[in-house]
Amino acid sequence: MGRREDDFERVVLPHARSLLRFASRLTGNPFQADDLVQETLLCAWRGFRQFDPDTNAHAWLFRILVNAFRQQKRKGRTSLATEPLAHAVQATQPSTHESVEVMQAVHRLSSDQRIVLLLAAVEGFKCREISEILDIPIGTVMSRLSRAREVMRELLSEVVR
Domain with residue 92: its CATH number is 1.20.140.160
Residue 13 has pLDDT above 80, yes or no: yes
pTM above 0.85, yes or no: no
CA distance 77 to 145: 26
pLDDT value at position 101? 86
Question: How many domains is the chain built from?
Answer: 1
Q: Of residues 72 and 161, which shows the higher confidence score?
A: 72
Domain assignment of residue 110, given as a range: 3-160
Q: What DSSP character marks residue 136?
A: S
Quote the CA–CA distance of 135 and 92 in Å, as a whole number. Answer: 27
CB-based contact 118:26 (threshold 8 Å): yes
Q: Give the model confidence (pLDDT) of 125-148 as tens digits.
A: 999 999 999 999 999 999 999 999
* Secondary structure E strands in the chain: none
For 3, how many CA atoms within 13 A lie in the half-sphere containing its CB? 1
Phi-psi region of 94 (alpha: psi -120 to 50; beta: other; left: phi over 0): beta
Helices (H), 75-126: 85-92, 97-106, 111-117
pLDDT in tens, 79-128: 544 344 444 444 445 445 667 888 889 999 999 999 999 999 999 999 99
